[in-house]
Structure 1
Amino acid sequence: MNGPIDTNSWQYRQINARAPGLSYLANALIDLVEEGYPVVAGTADLQYSNGLVRFAQRFPERFTQFGISEQNMVSAAAGMASTGAMPFVATFASFLALLCCEQIRTDVAYSALPVRLIGHHAGISLGFYGTSHHATEDLAIMRSIADLTVVAPADGPQLAAAVKASVNHAQPIYFRIGRGQEPVVYEDDVDFQFGKAIVHGEGSDLTIIACGSMVHPSREAYRALRAAGKSVGLIDMHTIKPLDTKAVLSAAAHSRFILTIEEHNILGGLGGAVAEILAEAGSPARLIRHGIRDEYSLIAPPTHLYKHYRLDAAGIEATVLEALG
């Protein structure tokens, strides 16, 4: 189902103009092919939305356009992996995690095949597309599947680092990413290790644990709070599964409060994973989960939704101040 790429098309030109973060995925895959890895890629009619059109233009023989058949794409990726290929397949997170859950569980994870699943436009980043296209349950679903690693990079450079690190990772992986417009948090060639959180700072009052698109606004709030004299820490918990237990318990040992921030339902995602660790360890630190509070997300531009759900820097800062009384 592949066809020629029109590099003069509006969609192709808009990748650079409107979603520069998407280039990191395709460029990382191109680098891996040039380094000799058996990488193949595919998407379900969204090569412009996820930037894989770049990969398709460079290596058309390694790219498959599956059309609007997401479940078939995942099963086909499992078949490719069984032959020794290293498949990366991408579509909207709401379709990949919800619609393709059975195929991910049975064809990929149960079969222990190293498929890399890219769920892009996660959370509420699709805005006006509506609740059916918002992915606020995917972390809860994916982390409940055995032998499936779940990663939520903060920005393009961290995504590229995670993609390149995945060549030495035996398990299948679900990558949860945004829409390519996320502000950059890290420099290129950032150090990335699966299951190893990045600690930006420690605090005795409260530690923020954030993932994915919420790392940047959390860092802005963290900086403002520290400038105001609050003893606040910040952890980028990019790997939701396996979670960095040591980082969580270390923060809980030094902070009165733990505040998880996620562009996701507060049930079952990052907040749920942290709650499990704290409960099992008998930690005295109080946990506050911040995100979508068990409801279907509203329809509006993403910027308006982030403000409404207090998932922007100002909202996160206010949430911390309320927790501290």
Structure 2
Amino acid sequence: MYDDSYTWEYGKGQILKKGSKIAIIATGLMVQESLKAIEQLKDIEPTLINISTIKPIDEELILETAKTHDVIVTIEEHNVIGGLGGAVAETLAPYGLPCRQYMMGMQDSFGRSGKPKDLLARYHLDASSIAQKIKEIMK
């Protein structure tokens, strides 16, 4: 994912894959699942951005992405309320950009215990579910 030249910077996101039309903004474990999902998307070339800090969030990168993409999909492995999706929405709201946004994550429900792979599938956060959602959005 990163080479030896990578340096982490507080409050800054990183573009891992450059694409067009649709951008995935992910955090934590969802970055790796998003990378796997992109391999399943042959006709769609999404941009993938790793946001490693939600507060502060990289507003400049998010706004630039919204100006150059039709859709932003945020992906996080916890509740979508008060997380990455909300932070991206709050960043975009004052500007009235025509970019649509979708939030993938826990949909205001309590989680369960289990094996990580099983939980990702149960909550539709595994690579296959991410790829399927991207395909649905782009229809």
What's the TM-score once normalised by structure 1's chain length?
0.41
Partner of 2:19: 203
Question: Which residue matches 1:237?
Answer: 51
Identify the residue that residue 186 of structure 1 maps to in structure 2.
2
Which is richer in strand? 2
Q: Distance in 1 between matches of 2:39 and 2:25?
A: 14
Aligned to 2:72: 258
2:121 match: 307
Unaligned ranges ≥5, structure 2:
none
Task: Give the alignment partner of residue 215 of structure 1, picking from 24, 31, 39.
Answer: 31
User: Does residue 97 of structure 2 align to residue 268 of structure 1?
Assistant: no
Q: Does 1:293 align with 2:124?
A: no
Find the residue that maps to 1:240 and give its secondary structure: coil
Shift in Å, 1:233: 0.7
Task: Kindly indicate whether structure 1 or structure 2 has the higher relative contact order, using CA contacts under 8 Å at least 6 residues apart.
Answer: 2
> More helix by proportion, 1 or 2?
1
Distance 1:223 1:245 in 2: 27
RMSD over equivalenced CA pairs, Å: 1.5
Looking at CA atoms only, which structure, 1 or 2, has the larger radius of gyration? 1
Question: Which 4+ residue blocks in structure 1 deviate beyond 6 angstroms?
Answer: none
C-alpha deviation, 1:300, in angstroms: 2.4
Aligned position for 2:63: 249
- Across the two proteins, how many residue pairs are aligned to each other? 139
Query: 1:220 & 1:293 partners in 2: Cα distance?
Result: 22
Q: Please report the TM-score for the alignment, with normalisation by the length of structure 2.
A: 0.92
Structure 1 residues without counterparts, runs of 5 or longer? 1-184
Percent identity of equivalent pairs: 40
**Contact in 2 for aligned 1:199/1:236 (Cα 8 Å):** yes
